Structure 1
Amino acid sequence: MGYNAPRMGNLKKKVLLFLLAGVALGLTRSYKKQLWILKQVPKEWKKGNRQALQRAINSLYTSHLLSEKHHRDGTTTLILSENGKRKALQFNIDKMEIKKPTRWDGKWRIVMFDIPEKLRRLRDSLRLHFREIGLIELQKSVFVYPYPCRKEIEFILEFYNARRYVRFVLAEKIDNELHLKNKFNFKQH
């Protein structure tokens, strides 16, 4: 990456994820205005130490995970740099889970990909993440899941920049459905 990545404490992770969600921390040269802005952060952060938050922001900035956007009114907005976006996505992807509805809608979600051999590491990473969130490999580079998972798949594809290699299919029937139902621990009627 070209820089030493900082040790990532919970506060730094929260700042990155907060910014990833589209909220920018605006900072000005005025101490009064900085305090006002810091008062606007979520309630869960208010429990913490404001100096710790400021140190976390400074550390993220010096680590090139945040960048500045200067405005005409003299304010500066901190935004995620490309490296920061990638790091924030990494935190989200590591704890991703697909919520299962109480009832199955009878449809299968099929994720297929065709990734060139020169991108084998990408292919292996996708396989690993698809398995980690519960998808089952139907065939080589074809995964299946019984519950809605498109948002999670799109998130993984965004993280790996792999959208162009992947297709998502919604199917009502698969010929080995009984085997898949057993794999997904469906109760027999």
Structure 2
Amino acid sequence: MKPTVSLEKDLRKEMRMTAVRRAVLGSVAAVGVISTALIAPNALLMLKPFLKQYERQKKYQTKKAISRLIAGGFLMMEKTSRGSFVVLTKKGKNCVAQWELRGYKVKKPKKWDKKWRVVIFDIPEKRKQLRGEVRTILTGIGFVRLQDSVWIYPYNCEEFVVLLKAELGLGRDVLYLIVDRVEDDRALRIRFKLD
């Protein structure tokens, strides 16, 4: 069994690597493609806006992050007559889309229109991980769970739900309802500070 100090050290190292991988994915998403010349020492400057602790990052961390992202199916190498480039795969695009969804903010009007927004989803068991991700995203936005796959929110969030369905490929798996009344909604009104 590893000593606790070593476990903590390993965890910090993994967290740093995750930050680098996230920065690389964010860079590729923002630019579209990144030349493998990026791995050269001076080319790391391109990543600077995406790295909070740029000065501490080393060239090998970026190389390792790119290798792991390629191995994980988030990036792929494309060779053209102009050189080699790293591009996002469908899996990489989905990952970036999920980050964007997690950071999405719904505009809250000054006055509540007394209508509830309900999201119902029926995502098959074989896509269980995606189902968990949808729950995490809904919770992050501020939705409250009524039942396992029934979530409620008091403000207009149709744009967000359309984005959620499109970015995660949910289509008919998600329904968006606008409801006039919910039985005994007093606890919900208190929860959302609507009274």
2:54 counterpart residue number: 48
Q: How many residues of Structure 1 are paired with residues of Structure 2 in the alignment? A: 174
**Partner residue, 1:7:** 14
1:58 is aligned with what amino acid?
K
1:48 to 1:166, Cα distance in 2 relative to 1, 3 A: same
Choose the corresponding residue for 2:193, options 171, 185, 189: 185
Q: Which of 144, 147, 154 does residue 155 from structure 2 map onto?
A: 147
| Residue in 2 that maps onto 1:135 | 143
Q: Is the 8 A contact 1:24 1:79 kept in 2?
A: yes
Change (3 A) 1:160 1:8: farther
Identical-pair percentage? 22
- Residue pairs, 1:59-138, within 5 angstroms: 59-63=64-68, 64=71, 65-73=74-82, 75-85=83-93, 88=96, 92=99, 96=103, 98-99=105-106, 101=108, 103-104=110-111, 106=113, 107-116=115-124, 118-119=125-126, 121=128, 125=132, 126-127=134-135, 129-138=137-146
Q: What is the Cα deviation at residue 165 of structure 1? A: 0.7
Q: With the length of structure 2 as denominator, give the TM-score of the two structures.
A: 0.62
Does the 8 Å CA contact 1:104/1:146 hold for their aligned counterparts?
no
- Equivalent residue letter for 2:23: K
Assess, with a 3 A threshold, how the Cα gap between structure 1 residues 163 and 104 changes in structure 2: closer, same or farther. farther
SS at match of 1:25: strand
Compared with structure 1, are the counterparts of its residues 155 and 18 closer, same or farther at alpha carbon in structure 2 (3 Å cutoff)? farther
Report if aligned partners of 2:165, 2:171 keep a CA contact under 8 Å in 1.
yes
Higher helix fraction (1 or 2): 2
Q: Which runs of 5+ in 1 are unaligned?
A: 1-5
Task: With the length of structure 1 as denominator, give the TM-score of the two structures.
Answer: 0.63
**TM-aligned CA distance change 1:15 to 1:8, over 3 Å:** farther
For 1:69 and 1:120, the matched residues in 2 are separated by 29
